[in-house]
């Protein structure tokens, strides 16, 4: 056999294997229809866009963040777009107990049937109106921690079929996306800030995962962890933020190994994002970064596709994340140089803390 054939045959084998693998894994929006999904950090940015995509696909959605007024708008929009149900819980992820509370909400309420269960009240002292009082329901549906269902199903209560009767609260997908505010500039030595950011960006992710695991094991569901290029390679001016994102990689990649050893069929998708055009990111970095941000709605859809296909890692955009990372093992200093060259350096170190 000639040398060319020796190379060509394995190469063709690889191409065929790649083609087969890709053809098998085609995303269809139906994959997420009726799925019960928590999206954290969904009051703005990429999380908000993920909620809207999920709504169009007909998922049951529980969104969370701190700002109640924004969450109300997100829930309202989700219902307009076709969500099977949408509700919110507001609070801060600085508090581990709140992170666990959000998961318990999913346990008791996501995808409950029949739809006459219009609203669940979670604030102490909150008055739950009766199902026969449309005005009170409409008002209360906007309250803290409330559930809002599609208007079409609001006032009707069809008898549940036996299959529906078996539906209970539960969880198919946990999307961990929220991020605490940090500063943009040289590391200032503030250890307390690093600790606080670790609590929001890392420990709350661990707490939610731990609480959600029994439900995810039952549904053979998915965990989606939204990270960053800054969690794969050192980035200047975001030292505390980068540290929290590296921690996510360490925790969730190790957990994935243990799931495999224990035959736990829960997928973990780590999302490595480049610069995205969310308000916060543009406000903090547009002046100093020499690249155009990618659109947040497209980014959100790519994350959901990767999650539905149970990918281990998702890179968006591929050209500004996966490709440079190929240099990490063979030319680390070149990669460091490329990262630094993204910045207009004179402006960066003195840049003020982002306002939120």
Q: What residues are labeled active site? A: 241
Whether the CB-CB separation of 54 and 80 falls below 8 Å is answered with no
Which CA distances in Å does 168 have to 163, 209, 220, 312, 338? 11, 20, 15, 28, 50
Q: What is the CA radius of gyration of the chain?
A: 22
Whether the CB-CB separation of 184 and 285 falls below 8 Å is answered with yes
Residue with tokens 């224990």: 262
Nearest residue to ligand NAP on Cβ basis: 45
The token pair at 4 is 């060319």
| Least CB distance to ligand NAP at residue 336 (A) | 18
Whether the CB-CB separation of 45 and 295 falls below 8 Å is answered with no
| Least CB distance to ligand NAP at residue 16 (A) | 35
Q: Which of 47, 169 has the CB closer to ligand NAP? A: 47
Q: Which of 160, 293 has the CB closer to ligand NAP? A: 293
Going 165 to 169 to 173 to 175, the CA torsion angle's sign is positive
Q: Which of 111, 209 has the CB closer to ligand NAP? A: 209
Residues of this chain that bind ligand NAP (CB under 6 A) = 41-47, 65-67, 70, 92-94, 177-180, 200, 226, 228, 273, 275-276, 278-281
| Least CB distance to ligand NAP at residue 99 (A) | 9
Pairwise CA distance, residues 115 & 321, whole Å: 43
Which CA distances in Å does 188 have to 191, 220, 282? 9, 43, 22
| Least CB distance to ligand NAP at residue 180 (A) | 5
Q: Which residues pair with 224 in a beta bridge?
A: 175, 269
Q: Which of 98, 111 has the CB closer to ligand NAP? A: 98
| Least CB distance to ligand NAP at residue 127 (A) | 25
Q: Which of 40, 115 has the CB closer to ligand NAP? A: 40
Q: Which of 57, 300 has the CB closer to ligand NAP? A: 300
Q: Which of left, alpha, beta for 236 (phi over 0: left; psi -120 to 50: alpha)? A: beta
The token pair at 289 is 């970064």
The DSSP element (H or E) to which 90 belongs, if any, is: strand 85-90
| Least CB distance to ligand NAP at residue 96 (A) | 11
């Amino acid at each position: 056999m000639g040398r060319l054939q020796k190379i060509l045959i394995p190469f063709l084998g690889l191409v065929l294997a790649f083609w087969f693998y890709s053809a098998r894994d085609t995303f269809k929006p139906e994959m997420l229809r009726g799925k019960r999904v928590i999206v954290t950090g969904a009051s703005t940015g990429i999380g908000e866009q993920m909620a809207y995509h999920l709504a169009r696909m007909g998922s049951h959605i529980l969104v969370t963040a701190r700002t109640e007024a924004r969450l109300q708008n997100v829930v309202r929009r989700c219902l307009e777009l076709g969500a099977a149900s949408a509700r919110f819980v507001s609070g801060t992820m600085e508090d581990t107990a709140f992170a666990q509370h959000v998961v318990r909400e999913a346990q008791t309420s996501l995808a409950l049937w029949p739809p006459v269960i219009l609203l669940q009240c979670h604030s102490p002292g909150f008055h739950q109106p009766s199902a026969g009082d449309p005005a009170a329901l409409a008002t209360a549906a906007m309250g803290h921690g409330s559930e809002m269902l599609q208007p079409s199903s609001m006032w009707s209560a069809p008898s549940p079929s036996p299959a529906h009767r078996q539906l209970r609260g539960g969880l198919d997908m946990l999307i961990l996306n929220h991020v605490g505010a940090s500063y943009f500039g040289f590391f200032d030595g503030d250890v307390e800030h690093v600790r606080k950011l670790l609590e929001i960006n890392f420990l709350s992710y661990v707490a939610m995962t731990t609480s959600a695991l029994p439900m995810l094991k039952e549904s053979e569901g998915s965990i989606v962890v939204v990270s960053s290029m800054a969690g794969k390679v050192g980035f200047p001016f975001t030292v505390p933020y980068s540290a929290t994102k590296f921690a996510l990689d360490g925790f969730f990649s190790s957990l994935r190994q243990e799931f495999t050893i224990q035959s736990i069929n829960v997928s973990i998708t780590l999302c490595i994002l480049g610069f995205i055009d969310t308000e916060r990111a543009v406000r903090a970095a547009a002046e100093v970064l020499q690249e155009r941000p990618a659109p947040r709605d497209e980014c959100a859809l790519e994350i959901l596709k990767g999650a539905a296909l149970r990918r281990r890692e998702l890179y968006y955009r591929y050209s500004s994340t996966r490709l440079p990372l190929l240099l990490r093992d063979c030319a680390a200093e070149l990669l460091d140089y490329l990262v630094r060259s993204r910045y207009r350096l004179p402006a960066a170190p003195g840049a003020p803390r982002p306002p939120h």
